[in-house]
Chains A and B, each alone.
Chain A
Amino acid sequence: MEDLIEYLKSKLKNLNDIYFRELNIKGKKVYIVFSDALVDSNLVSNYVVRSIVEIITNEPVDERKNTLKDKIEEKIGINTSNIDLEDYIAINKVKKLDKEKDNLFTYILSGFVLIVLTDGIYAVETKASLVRGISEPTSENSVRGAKDSFVENIMTNIGLVRRRLKTEKLEYKESKIGTKTKTTVGIMYISDIAKPDLVNLVGEKLNKIIIDGILDINYIQEYIEEKNESDFPVSINTERPDIVSYYLLQGRIAVLVDNSPYVLVLPAFFEDFINHIDDVYQKSKNVTITKIIRYVCLVLTVTIPALYLSLITFDQESIPTELLTSFAAQREGVPFPAFIEAIAMIFAFEILRESDLRSNKITGNTMSIVGALILGDAAVSAGIVSPIMIIVVALTTISGLTFSDINVVNALRKWRAIYMIFASLCGLIGMAMATILFVTSLVSTNSYTKSFTYPVAPLNMTQLKKSLFTRMAIPKDNKRQKILTNNLTRSRE
């Protein structure tokens, strides 16, 4: 026992937050080891130390309190001096450890209290709550939806989903990933809806991960999307438990990572990034216009700068004369070629966005005002850029912001640049070529053995009718999608 303590002390001598305590109760030596930073000291003193003392001395420390031990002794009348600590300590999570097999340091550094006795080592969970409370979603807004969002604690996150899906079929399997971080990573699915082969596939992919640390959900995302060479993500990143529950009910699988307030849902299709959960929370008949706006935005944000470039440098005959005259009048006196002007302005707006994202909230507001004034007004009055260019860039940017997933926004930004290069080299024909590339890239993307562009390619008319421009009324929409599940009926068990 002393050897073990010495061993631990030598190994942990540079970790000054590790606390060793020696208890000497009626000649019986007990050591407790824990990390001061991770444990709740109230739990340690009131439940661990007190329990140990009570168990060993066979009498309550506090006479006023009827401990569990007393009750047992009164009822059964057995001597507790040599009974297992595991059964009697007043904390739920207790485990007897084997000093050869188990890594004791992991337990100490996960917020456990290590109780070292002559006849064994016990780990008792006394984790302090080191996370913030549940707050409103910050990156995914919704008008009518639930206002709770995931936090950094995986157990809270599981709880948020379980609150919505009260079924024993909602299964959760966890594993520890990361040789240094030992991060809890769990997968969640509804066992009678999700396809078992997909669950196995994800499980296998998670098992294969060998890395020192998992700090964010994106580590997992990149590992399990390893074969995805497309610019678009093939899994959904969301911070909202209602979205996760919505997808779980469709037969998708959620991957949760401790310390990340985002949950991964897979597989994802391209339409999932265009559709929004708000569509489900609003009257279905009015969703059509919203959806059309989003499709238009998708096209606009990718093509508008390229279209402008090709119209004013190559295909001037394709626009009405009045518009051409207006363009020409505005371009008069601008010192740069149109391509340079467009690239410079789009770059400037990207700088504005990046600095807005990175800076703290107080300076951020000032910066956006300054940026908008300089880029918008002053640049035009100085004659460096044409006003139409500002309109083009503004339209591009606001259209791009209709998509909430940052990976999608960035992918669209990349394709916007490709479109612009093609358009600046050969006009509308170049845009046609870029479109061919874009479509080719989209349809060749694979989302966990499923096609990314479903339901357009492969064509599924039933699903298209349901979701392309409309949303089917919820009472009528009683079939699940065949691509995600084998259990198709929604309306009965």
Chain B
Amino acid sequence: MRKYVIALLIAVLIFGRLDSIRELTDLAVVKAFGIDLTEDGKYHISAIVIDTSDKENSESGIIYESTGDSVHDAARNIVGISPKKLYLAHMETLIISEEIAKDKMENVLDFFIRDNEGSNAFYLFIANGNKSSEIIDTINQEKIDMVSFLKASEKYRGNANLKNLNEIIKTIFKEGIEVCVNSISVKDDKVLINNMAYFKDWQMKDYLSQEESVLYNVLTNEVNNIIMSVGSEDNLAVLEIVDSKSKISIDKQQNNKINIKIDVNGNLSETSKNIQIKSTNDLEEIQKSFESKINSDVIEFCNKIKNEYNTDILGIGNLLYRKKNTLYTEENYLQKLSIDVETNVNISNQGGINKKW
């Protein structure tokens, strides 16, 4: 008797999953997905599906486009033109147009959050200045591997970060913190990872500048390998930052004072002829000039956030909220804060003529 019960239980467990069986050849594996808004308010989607019939070249893809009242409706409509069902679990890139980001972000992302098929570990981009279908088209033509492209951009330019949709959504749902999302555009038939777009309450406001994008990523500890320079022409010094750590905290004495501490470790990668390093004093001077540059940049960026953007992308509100600071409940709390920046630059390697190999 017990044997039969166990067998029955196993059977129930096994056969319960039989309906989710899908042969690999019946799936249209979507690599990138773009969503636009049409003039009559419908959703237009374009998806790059990996072309599995091309055995030699696994990079090649086919683009399917369709329109529908909702994202899911539009995705279902693709079945009419593609023999296979769209499979989103291996999606790498989701591109949404600016109009959607400004107005209907919540509605569009809801489809991806609810979908139980995928893991939502893909990267979200805002189409900056182009339609997302155009960008999808270019990505497919140029056969761009978006993941390595984004990783390179994050690592060497610092104006993009590697937050996937899951992390972005988690940030959106947190108290007192707003997100910035990578943006992407097409310039001269080349795809370009552009500056970040900042949000407030599910709505995209505008784009940060290139420097601000980098500073944002440094302050949120998202990137740590960027290049920065001081001086100009014959006084130029360029620092390759290999490691940076920033910490935002509330001052222990004044509860409306925010301390930002940045530790930067870098190598001197390029200097002009007037910069001479003959002693540690010279090096300290260069370090100091970098420190003051970072300080002033960060202060300027914070002032802009406070007065112009008025959105808490650095998560100071979250910090206040966690410390049960009453300031957080007040409206426009950002304007009431005073911000103090302390930077510590350490140049560990100045380079030399002798190469090791």
Segment 314-345 of A: residues with Cβ below 8 Å from B: 314, 316-317, 321-322, 324-334, 337-338
**CA–CA, A462 to B238, complex, Å?**
60
Find out whether the CB atom of B13 lies under 8 angstroms from the CB atom of A429.
yes
Tell me if A251 counts as interface (CB < 8 A to partner B): no
Q: Are A325 and B52 in contact (CB under 8 A)?
A: yes
- In this assembly, does B54 line the interface, its C-beta being within 8 Å of a C-beta of chain A? yes
Interface pair A328/B20, CB less than 8 Å apart: no
Query: B353 at the A/B interface (Cβ < 8 Å)?
Result: no
CB–CB B92/A321 < 8 A: yes
Residue-wise interface mask of A (397-435) relative to B, using a CB-CB cutoff of 8 A (1 in contact, 0 not): 000000000000000000000000010011101100100
Q: Which of B13-31 contact A (CB under 8 A)?
A: 13-18, 20-25, 27, 29, 31
Verify A327–B13 contact, CB threshold 8 A.
no
Using CB atoms, name the residue of chain A closest to B15: A425
Contacting pair A321 B31 (CB below 8 A): yes
Q: A470 contacts the other chain (Cβ, under 8 Å)?
A: no
**A324-B28 Cα distance, complex, nearest whole Å:** 11
Interface membership of A263, Cβ < 8 A:
no
CB distance from B112 to the nearest CB of A (A): 14
B113 contacts partner chain A, Cβ-Cβ < 8 Å = no
B58 within 8 A of A: yes
* Residue A312 interfacial (CB < 8 Å): yes
Residues of B82-113 whose CB lies within 8 A of A: 87, 89-90, 92
Q: Enumerate B41-55 residues with CB–CB distance to A below 8 Å.
A: 50, 52-55
In A454-478, the 8 Å CB interface with B consists of: none
Q: Report if B329 contacts A (CB, 8 A).
A: no
| Smallest Cβ-Cβ distance to A338: which chain B residue | B23
Docked Cα-Cα span, A372 to B92, in Å, equals 40
Contact of B58 among A325, A334, A338 (CB under 8 A): A325
* B29-A324 in contact (CB<8A): yes
Q: Tell me which residues across on chain B come within 8 A of A332, comparing CB atoms.
A: 25, 52-53, 55
Answer yes or no: A313 CB below 8 A from chain B CBs: yes
Does A325 contact B89, Cβ atoms closer than 8 Å?
Answer: no
Report the nearest A residue to B54, measured CB to CB.
Answer: A329
Q: Would you call B10 an interface residue if the criterion is a C-beta within 8 Å of the partner chain's C-beta atoms? A: yes
Interface string of B117-128 (1 = CB under 8 A from A): 111000000000
Interface residue from B10, B16, B17, B92 paired with A314 (Cβ < 8 Å) = B17
Whether the Cβ atoms of B87 and A429 lie closer than 8 Å is no
B114 to chain A, nearest CB (A): 16
Question: What's the minimum C-beta distance from A427 to chain B, rounded to whole angstroms?
Answer: 7
Question: How distant is A51 from chain B, measured CB to nearest CB, in Å?
Answer: 68
For chain A, residues 159 to 180, give those with C-beta under 8 angstroms from any C-beta of chain B. Answer: none
Are the CB atoms of B52 and A429 closer together than 8 Å?
no
Inter-subunit contact B89/A317 (CB<8 Å): yes
Chain B interface mostly: loop
Task: Tell me if B117 and A313 are in contact (CB < 8 A).
Answer: no
**Chain B nearest CB: distance from A125 CB in Å?**
55
Q: Given A317, A326, A329, A429, which contacts B119 in the complex, CB threshold below 8 Å?
A: A317
- What is the bound-complex CA distance between A314 and B27, given in angstroms? 11
How many residues from B make CB contacts under 8 Å with A?
29
CB-contact partner of A426 in B18, B22, B24, B90, under 8 A: B18
Contact B10 A433 (CB under 8 A): yes
CA gap between A313 and B87 in the complex, in Å = 13
Q: Are A316 and B17 in contact (CB under 8 A)?
A: no
- Contact call A316/B14, Cβ cutoff below 8 A: no
0 or 1 for each of A287-307: is its CB under 8 Å from B? (1 = yes): 000000000000000000000
CA A23 – CA B117 in complex, angstroms? Answer: 96
When A313-B22, A316-B89, A321-B90 are in contact, do A328 and B13 touch as well, CB less than 8 Å? no
Q: Are A426 and B14 in contact (CB under 8 A)?
A: yes
Residues of B within 8 A of A425 (CB): 14-15, 17-18
Cβ of A322 and Cβ of B58 under 8 Å apart?
Answer: yes
- Docked pose: A425 CA to B17 CA in angstroms: 7
- B145 to chain A minimum Cβ distance, whole angstroms, is 9
Q: With A317-B90, A317-B117, A429-B13 given, is the CB distance from A330 to B21 under 8 Å?
A: no
Residues of B within 8 A of A422 (CB): 14
B25 lies within 8 A of A334 (CB):
yes
User: What is the distance, in angstroms, from B164's C-beta to the closest C-beta of chain A?
Assistant: 14
Q: Contact between A325 and B29 (Cβ–Cβ < 8 Å)?
A: yes
- B24 & A328 in contact (Cβ 8 Å cutoff): yes
> In the docked arrangement, what's the CA distance between A276 and B267, Å?
55
In Å, the complex CA distance between A312 and B31 comes to 17
Q: Are A314 and B22 in contact (CB under 8 A)?
A: yes
Q: How distant is B148 from chain A, measured CB to nearest CB, in Å? A: 11
Question: Which of chain A's residues has its CB closest to B87's CB?
Answer: A316
On whether the beta carbons of A426 and B17 are closer than 8 Å, the reply is yes
Please indicate the chain A residues that have their CB under 8 angstroms from the CB of B50 in the complex. Answer: 321, 325, 328
How many whole Å from A303's CB to the nearest CB in chain B? 17
Across the interface, name the chain B residue whose C-beta is closest to A387.
Answer: B55
A328 touches B25 (CB 8 A): yes
Q: Which residue of A lies closest to B56 (CB)?
A: A329
Return A160 CB to nearest CB of chain B, in Å: 46
Residues of A327-379 whose CB lies within 8 A of B: 327-334, 337-338
Closest 7 CB pairs of A and B: A426-B17, A317-B89, A328-B52, A312-B24, A425-B14, A321-B90, A325-B58
Known contacts A317-B118, A321-B90, A324-B24, then 10 further A-B pairs from the complex at CB < 8 Å, ordered by chain A residue: A312-B24, A313-B21, A313-B23, A317-B119, A325-B50, A329-B53, A331-B24, A331-B52, A425-B17, A429-B17
- 21 interchain pairs, CB-CB under 8 A: A313-B23, A313-B24, A317-B90, A317-B119, A321-B90, A321-B92, A325-B52, A328-B25, A328-B27, A328-B50, A328-B52, A329-B52, A329-B58, A330-B55, A331-B23, A422-B14, A425-B17, A426-B15, A427-B17, A429-B13, A429-B17
Which residues of A are in contact with B by a Cβ distance under 8 Å? Answer: 312-314, 316-317, 321-322, 324-334, 337-338, 422, 425-427, 429-430, 433
